[in-house]
Amino acid sequence: MTIEKFKTGNYRTKVTPEQSKEIQELCFEHGTRWHTDNCVKYTDVKYLYFDGGLIGYDRTKRYFKANENKKVSAEYLLYVLRGEHYITTADKAACVAHYTRMITWVKTQAGEHRADCDYMDRIIGENWQAMHCALCKKYVHKVCVECPLNESGQFCPDDGSLWNKMNASDTWAEWLKYAKKLRKYLNALPEAVEKKAEPKQPTFGIKGSCADVEFELINSFGGLAIKMVGNESGNICKIERNGTLGMYTSIGGVPGLQLDGEGRIKVSG
C-alpha cells in the first residue's frame, strides 16, 4: 500500500494510545484529517477508520468487526505512513515465486491429505521452512530483526501469524488457504527504494593565489577533516556539520579556509 492509496482508500485499524497519536500526527502530515480539524484526540479509543482522506472512530468492537473497510494492522499502517520501505524488489520476487511454486504443487494434492513439509521437500525440492525462505536466509542470524514480515507485525513464530497458521495446518486444503493469504501479504509489502552509492570525495585544492597548495579529505578523531597533501606533520582542520572549518583558523599558514558550494576549499577574507 502506498500513501496515495491510503489517502483515497477505506481502511480500519485497532490501535494503542501511543499508536493512535503517531498515526494521527502522520496522517496530518500527509493531508488526512478529522472532519473538523487536524488535532490529535480520542487516543483512548481502540478503533480508527480512514475514508478517502478523513479519520473517524468508534468505541465498539462489534462495529469494528462489521465494518467493511479493509482491515490493516497498526504496525503496517505506521510503516506506510512513515515512508519506511522494508522489502527489496528482489526479496519480494523471490518470496512470491517460492510460494507460487509451492501453491501450484499443493493444488495437485488431495485436499484432505495431511500437510507434510518433508514430503513436499522430497517431491519439489523446497518447503515452507526457513532454509528455503529468501527472507529467513537474510535475517535469521539477526533473530529476524529487520525482517519485513516481523517489522510489519507478521513475525512467523507468533500465534496468529499467517505463517504459523499455515505451518500448523492439518490438511493441504487448510495449508493452501493460509499460503495464499501469506503470498498476497508478501506481494503487498512496500518495496525499498534503492539507495544510490555516495560519490567518492575528491582531493580538495585551494583556488586562486594558493593553487599550488593541495589538501585532502581524511578521517580524523571520528569525523571529517582536511589535511595538507604531502605533509604528514601539517595541521589538521576539522570540518563542522555545516561545512565550515573548525579546530584551527589556518592550515599551512593559509588563514580563513572554507568549503565553497562545489565542495572545494577556498580562502575567505
Distance CA 190, CA 2 (A): 7
Report pLDDT for 23: 96
What is the length of the chain?
Answer: 269
CA–CA distance from 32 to each of 8, 23, 91, 131, 156 (Å)? 10, 10, 31, 42, 32
Report pLDDT for 112: 97
**In tens digits, what is the pLDDT along the chain, a chain of 269 residues?**
667 788 899 999 999 999 999 999 999 999 999 999 999 999 999 999 999 999 999 999 999 999 999 998 898 788 788 876 578 889 999 999 999 999 999 999 999 999 999 999 999 999 999 999 999 998 888 788 778 898 778 889 999 999 999 999 999 999 999 999 999 999 988 776 544 444 444 444 433 333 344 555 544 444 445 555 444 444 444 444 444 444 443 444 444 444 444 444 444 44
Could you give the angle at the alpha carbon of 89 between the alpha carbons of 70 and 98, nearest 5°? 80
Report pLDDT for 216: 52
Report pLDDT for 193: 52
Nearest to 228 by CA among 208, 246, 209, 212: 212
C-alpha cell at 247: 579546530
Q: What is the DSSP string of 33-82?
A: EESS------TT-SEEEEETTEEEEE--HHHHHH--SEE--HHHHHHHHH
Distance CA 258, CA 239 (A): 9
Question: For residue 148, what is the enclosing H or E element?
Answer: helix 148-151
pTM above 0.85, yes or no: no
Distance CA 63, CA 53 (A): 20
Give me the torsion for CA of 168, 170, 173, 177, rounded to 10°.
Answer: -20
Nearest to 34 by CA among 46, 49, 22, 17: 49
Report pLDDT for 64: 94
Report pLDDT for 6: 87
Report pLDDT for 235: 47
Assign 14 to helix, strand or coil: strand
Could you give the angle at the alpha carbon of 101 between the alpha carbons of 95 and 106, nearest 5°? 125
